[in-house]
Structure 1
Amino acid sequence: MADDVGVVREAAGEHRPAFLELFFDLVFFLALIVLAADLSATLTWLAAGQTLILFLAFALVWALSSWVADTSDLNHPRGQVQVFWVMTGSLVMSAAVPEAFDGRGLLFAMGYLAIQLGSATYLMITGRREIVRIRNRRILFWAGISAVAWLAGAFLPNTQRTALWALAITIEYTAAVLGWPTPKLGHSVGWEWKLVGERVAERYRQLLIIALGVSVFKAGLTLGPDNYTAYRVAAFGMAFATAVLMWRIYIYRAGELLPDAIVASTNPSRFGQFAAVSHLVMVAGIILAAAGTALVIDNPLHPTHPGPGAIMLGGSILFLVGRGVLAYTVFSQVSWTRPVGIILIGLLAAAFPVLPQLTIMALVTFILLLIALADSFNFGIRPGPATPPQLPF
C-alpha cells in the first residue's frame, strides 16, 4: 500500500530475514551467554527460577521484535530506529543479569520496560496502518499493567522481587497467548501480524543456531587455555557432540519442513506464533544443558550431586519436550523416540550416587545419538509431507 511505504511492508514482500535482524541476534547471543554463566555459577532452585524469569523476559523481547519486523521495513530509518532501541535496551538488560536480583534490579527492569513500553509507543505513533496502531495500543496496555510489578519488585529484596517479577512475566505471556485483550479494542488475531512462513521459520532456525552457538562457546570458555586434562577435553568433546546431535534432531525433519507446515496450516500466522513456543522451550533446554556442560568440564570426575545432575539431565529433557511439540505442529504426531528418550534420560538420575558427572554426560550424549539414528531410520531418505494440525481459531 502506498501510504505504508517506509513503515510497513506487505507479507508478499521480503521473505528472508533482514541483515539488521542478524545484527540484533548478536545482542541476544550475549544475553544467552550471560544467562548460562549466571545459572552455572549459582546452583539453587531459587536461582534456576530466577534465571527462567530473566530468560522469559529476553525471549518475549526477541519474539515480539521478530514478529514486528515481519511487517516493518527495516531498510527505512524509521524501522531501523526501533530495532536499535531494542538492541540498546537488551544490552542494558544483559549487563544487569548477574545482579538482577541484587543491586541491579532497577537497571534490568528499566531496560526491559524501555523496550516494551518504548517500542509499543513508537510503533503506535509511527504506524501508518490503523491495525498496526491498534495492535501496539493493546501491547502497551498490558505492558503498562506488568510495569507496576516490574518496578515494585526492583525495590524489594531477593525473594519478594522474584515473586513480583514472576507475576509480571506471567501477566505478559498470558496476555500474549490471549491476543492482548483490551477494553474497547478487543484482542489481536493472527492475520494482523501477516507472518510469512519462510521468513518466520528462518528466524526460528536462527534462534536455535544462536542457542547451540552459546552452548559451544560456553564449553570452550570453560575448558580455558590451560589445565588440559584428558577428562576435561573428553567432556568438551561430548559437549560439542551434544550440540551437533541437538541440531540434527531439530532439523530432521520438523525443522526442515517448518516453512511448508506454516503455509499448509489453516491459520499460518497463528500457527507461526504457536511454533515459537516450541522453539523457546528448546532454547531453554539448550541453555540449561550448556550450564550443566560447564559444570562437567570444570570437574569431570566429581560425584554427580542432585543439583548439577538435574541441570545436566533437565536440559536435554526440556529440549526433547520442545522438539516433540514442534513435531506435533509440523506432522500432527510425535515420534516414539521423544518420550522414550525423555524416559531414558530421566532414569539416569538413579545412577547419580554411583557415577561421576562425565559418565552421566556420556550416557546422555549416547541417548541423543540413538534418537538421531532412530529418526534417520524412521523417516528414511525421503521426507514425509508436512501435515500440521488444523487450528480451530
Structure 2
Amino acid sequence: MSSGLPARLLRRREVSRRPSFLELFFDLAFILALNRLSRALEDDLGVGGAYRTALLLAAIWWVWFVTAWSTDWFEPRTPLISGLLLWVMFGGMLMAAAAPTAYAGHALVFAGAYVAIHLGRAALLLPALRGHPLQLRTLRVAIWFAVSGVLWLAGAFVGPAQVLLWTAAVVLDYSMARLRWPTPRLGRSSWENLQIIGEHLSERYQQIFIIALGELILTAGITFSQSGFDLGRSAAFALMFVNAVSLGRLYLVPGGMRLGTAIEAMGPPGSRLGLLAGYLHLVMIAGVLATGVGSRLMIMEPFSHELAAVVTMAAGPTLFLTGWILLALAVHGKFSWQRLIGMVAILIAAVAGHELSLLVNSAIITGLLILIAHGDTLANRVRRHRQS
C-alpha cells in the first residue's frame, strides 16, 4: 500500500471492525427517511403509489448502501471521511424531507440532493486518492453516477416522464454496481478492488435493520398515543409489537444469518455476497416499511375493512420473508421450505379474510409469524419426540 494521505484514508483490515460512532450517528438520518416514506405510501395507498414509494426507497437505500461500503473501505475517523459522512447525512435528510412531495413539487430537491451526494463524494475522494490505484475505482463509480444523475435531474424537470426516468436511473445505479462499473477505456473494477470486511458490513446491515424496526415502533407508538387507549386500539398496538419482535427474531436468529463469516470465508469474491445482501436488505426493509404503514392504519381504525390496508399488512411480512429466505439461501445454500409455506399461508389468509377487520387480519398474520419465527424450534422438538 502506498504511503501518504491515501494510505491513511484506507481502513486496515487488522484494526477494529466494529462501526464507529459517526457511522451509527449517520444511520439516524434513515429514521427520518423511513418515516417520511411511510407517510408518502399512506397518502398514496395503491399499486401506483406503492411503486412510486419503492422508487424513492431504492434511491435512499442506495445512498445508505454506498456510504456503508465507503466506510468499509475508508477509515471513518479521518477528518476527510468524517466530513464526507456528514455531507451525505445532510443530503440524505434533504431527500427524506422531500420524499412525501417528490412527485408533487419537490422533485428537484430530492433528485438534486441524490446527485450532489454521489458526485460530492467523488469530488472529495478523487483528489485525496491521487497516486493510489484505488483512485481509478472511485473514478469509474463517479462516471456512472454522473450518467444516472442526468436521468435523476431530467426526471425532476420532465413531470410526465418522471417515474420512467427515475426507474431507468435506479436500474442503472443498481446494475452498474453488480457489473462492477464497466467503463470505456477504464475497464471495470476487480473483486479484489471491491473486497470488503465481512464482519463490519454485516454489523452495518444488522444495525440499519434494527433502525427500521425502531421506526416502525416509533410511528405506531405515536399513532397509538394520539388515537386513544380504547380496547381495539390497545389490541392493535399489542399486535404491532408482537409483529416487530417476530420480524426481529427471524432476522437475527441464528446469529444474524452468519453473513459476515460467509463473506470472509469467500475472500475477495465475498463482495458479491455482500452486494447481494444489500439488494435483499432493501426488500426486507421495504417489508418493514409496509408493515409499519399497515400497523398505523390498523391502530387508527382497528375495525376497518379497507382492502388496501389489508393488502399492505400482508405485503409487509411477505416482502420481508422473501428477502430473508433468499438471503438464507445465499449464505447457507439451503432453501427454507417451511418459511416459504408460512409466507404463502400469510397471502392465502389475506385473500380469504379480505372482508374481515384489520384487527382480525393482523391477529391471523401475527399468529403465522410466530409459527414461522419458532418453526425451527418446534420442528426440532417434534423430531426429538418421534425419536424418543
TM norm structure 1? 0.92
SS of corresponding position for 1:70: helix
| Match of residue 386 from structure 2 | none
Q: Distance in 1 between matches of 2:365 and 2:256?
A: 22
| Match of residue 87 from structure 1 | 89
**Paired residues for 1:80-159 under 5 Å:** 80-128=82-130, 130-157=132-159, 159=160
Aligned-partner residue type, residue 291 of structure 2: A
Aligned-partner residue type, residue 147 of structure 2: I
Aligned-partner residue type, residue 359 of structure 1: V
Aligned-partner residue type, residue 56 of structure 2: L
**Paired residues for 1:1-393 under 5 Å:** 1=1, 2-3=3-4, 4-128=6-130, 130-157=132-159, 159-253=160-254, 255-265=256-266, 267-305=269-307, 307-378=308-379
Aligned-partner residue type, residue 337 of structure 2: W
My pick for the range that moved more, 5-14 or 107-116, is 5-14
SS of corresponding position for 1:130: coil
Aligned residue pair count: 378
Between the aligned residues of both structures, percent identity stands at 37
Q: 1:151 to 1:29 in 2, by over 3 A?
A: same
Whether the 8 Å CA contact 1:106–1:154 is kept in 2: the answer is yes
My pick for the range that moved more, 252-261 or 7-16, is 252-261
Whether the 8 Å CA contact 1:285–1:316 is kept in 2: the answer is yes
Whether the 8 Å CA contact 2:198–2:274 is kept in 1: the answer is yes
Whether the 8 Å CA contact 1:24–1:83 is kept in 2: the answer is yes
Q: Distance in 2 between matches of 1:226 and 1:56?
A: 31
| Match of residue 391 from structure 1 | none
Q: Distance in 2 between matches of 1:55 and 1:129?
A: 36
Whether the 8 Å CA contact 2:310–2:354 is kept in 1: the answer is no
Whether the 8 Å CA contact 1:254–1:326 is kept in 2: the answer is no
Q: Distance in 1 between matches of 2:266 and 2:110?
A: 38
Aligned-partner residue type, residue 222 of structure 2: L
Displacement of 1:5 in angstroms is 4.0
Q: Distance in 2 between matches of 1:331 and 1:10?
A: 28
Whether the 8 Å CA contact 2:257–2:328 is kept in 1: the answer is no
Displacement of 1:85 in angstroms is 0.9
- List gaps (5 residues or longer) in structure 2: 382-388
Whether the 8 Å CA contact 1:143–1:172 is kept in 2: the answer is yes
Displacement of 1:288 in angstroms is 1.1
Displacement of 1:352 in angstroms is 3.9
Q: Distance in 2 between matches of 1:353 and 1:73?
A: 51
Aligned-partner residue type, residue 152 of structure 1: A
Displacement of 1:229 in angstroms is 1.3
Aligned-partner residue type, residue 244 of structure 2: A
| Superposed CA RMSD | 1.6
Q: 1:353 to 1:238 in 2, by over 3 A?
A: closer
Whether the 8 Å CA contact 2:68–2:204 is kept in 1: the answer is yes
Q: Deviations over 1:289-332 (max 9, x none)?
A: 11111111111101141x22221111100000011011112210
Q: Distance in 1 between matches of 2:378 and 2:12?
A: 41
